[in-house]
Every structure is written in C-alpha cells, then in structure tokens.
Amino acid sequence: MIDIPRIRFAQLPTPIERMPRLSAALGGPNLWIKRDDQTGLAMGGNKTRKLEFLIAEAQAHGAHTLITAGAVQSNHCRQTAAAAAQHGFKCILVLSGYPPKEISGNLLLDHMLGAQIVWTSRSERDHTLQKAFNEAWSAGKRPYLIPYGGSSPTGAAGYAHAVAELLQQCVTQQEIPMPDWIVFATSSGGTQAGLTVGAKAFQYPGKILGISIDEKAEALKARVADLATQTADLIRFPASFSPEDILVNEDYLGDGYGIMSSVEVEAIKLFASHEGILLDPVYTGRSAGGMLDMIRKNVFPTGSHVLFWHTGGSPALFAEQYRSAFV
C-alpha cells in the first residue's frame, strides 16, 4: 500500500464516543459513535477526508476551478465549496432542483463560501455538469471535475486511511473496544468503498454495514465493489472485491432521497435528547433510524459493540423543508 498525494486539513483523528444513554434506552448492543461530523471544513462531514486527496490531485493537475454536483442540500457541495475557498480555487456547483424561495441550510453556506450555483433538473444533471466543465475549460478556468459525493478512487482513499485511524484508537485508548459492527450511511459509495479496502488492508475483524439512502442494494453493492477494487489498485494494495463482499441494507429507502419520514425524525430526536448529538435529515438520520430498527429486531447480538460512523450533515437540519418537523 502506497501513499498518494494528500493535503492535510481535516481535524483528525475524530473522536470515538460511547453512547451509554441511548444504549440503555434501546437494550441490546453497546453503541459507540465516530464523530466525522467534527472533521472541520465548514461544519464538518465525511467529505473532508475525501477532499484531502481530491484537492491534492486538483493541484497536481494545475486546476484553478473545482466543479461538482449534488442536490439542493448537498453536504458534499458545501464542503467542496469550503475546500475551494480554503485553497484558492473557484467553485461551480451544479445543483438538482429549483431555487427555493428561502435560501437556508447547506445552500446558504454554499453562497457564503462563494460558490457559483448552476441549477438543473435531476434528469439533466450529467449533461449540465459536463456543459459547465466544457464552458469553464473553454474560458481558460482549468477546471477539475469532482464526481458526486467525491466518490472516485482518489476520494475513497480517504476512508481506507480512516480504518487505520480507527484501529489505532482502539489500540491506544483502552476504553474503546474493537467494534463488531460499523454502521453508516451509504449513497454514492465512496465512503463504503474506502472502508472496505481499509478493512482488508489493515485487517479489521468486524463487519461493515452500509444503510442505503437512495438506491437498491444490488446496484449499490456492484458499484461499491467496483470502486473498492479501483481504490485498491490506486494505492497498490493487491485486492479485488465482488458484490458479495459488500453489506448493504436497503430496507429504509422510504419515499426516496431527501424525503424525511418518522424513521429519520425519531432517530434525530433520540440522538439529540439522549446524547446531545445532532444528525441530519437525509443521511445520518436515515441510517441511524435503520440501525435503531435493526437493534429492535435483534440483528446485533446483546453485548456486542456497534459503532455508528457519523458522516456529518447537520446544516440541513436548518433547511426550510425539514425544520418544521422538530418544532
């Protein structure tokens, strides 16, 4: 395994904390949380780890402009805009949807961070993204295209390294046990691909379970396996992966991406009221809600250690379409 170019600006290692009150309320496993909502970079999140490698690659390519895409309340876009501001890039964000009457949540931060917003429909997003790239190139802005969620082999490498960080914490901090399960939100696949590679490279003995946010398990497992194989190749780790190597739960897709239901609302309220931890309504709310349901169904053995990997996103709590659920 080789080191690839990286610019260190994340606040690492992120803490691992026990959740005793939530564990007691639910019964069953012992719950822990890894706080990647505290990675820094405009209110934190999992994209910080990916962007350390993506920004290094953009600089190596001589880029002047970062271009990426996402939904209106995209955490990835917010953190990309922050990384661009921090490292002297222009930033163009292609957002799916319509300009809201009230600018709030992540979108408000996108504007504050100086990003140029290009609006498009979900069906036209890929076309609009490529058009924005071509126009920036023709204008001499030297663009660097970051895929959805930062989920390229370069971005996923951030989470291969994150496994080493986790295992080191378990060794050096005696109060932190080796988790039997790692549970987290999975969508574009980069976080899960990186964790999958890191688990094999650093011999993590437990299970890695992604709770799907917006896609059926079969397609997501295939994409994660392919991306994990490409990531392993990038860092020169001799491994390949198949969909059978990837654990994904698709039971909590609800009515679709970004549509909050009682699953997310309950999880957000329980984490806040029992542990003082803020989740988000799209990713961590849904994945934590799925984990809570699995605990009640006795999926995780009593007394086992389950680590919820918090991937950030709390600015979306303040978005107009979500906040009314909590007042």
Amino acid, res. 138: S
Give the residues across from 31 on adjacent strands.
306
**Structure tokens that stand for 57 in this block:** 């690659």
Alpha carbon dihedral 239, 244, 246, 251, in 10-degree steps, equals 170
Task: Tokens for 279, please give them.
Answer: 């989740």
188 is catalytic: no
Q: Which residues pair with 209 in a beta bridge?
A: 183, 247
Tokens of 73: 């309340």
Which H or E element spans position 52?
helix 47-60
- One-letter amino acid identity for 166? L
Structure tokens at 61: 């390519």
Asked if residues 76 and 51 have their Cβ atoms less than 8 Å apart, the reply is no
Per annotation, catalytic residue among 74, 96, 188, 314? 74
Active site amino acids? 74
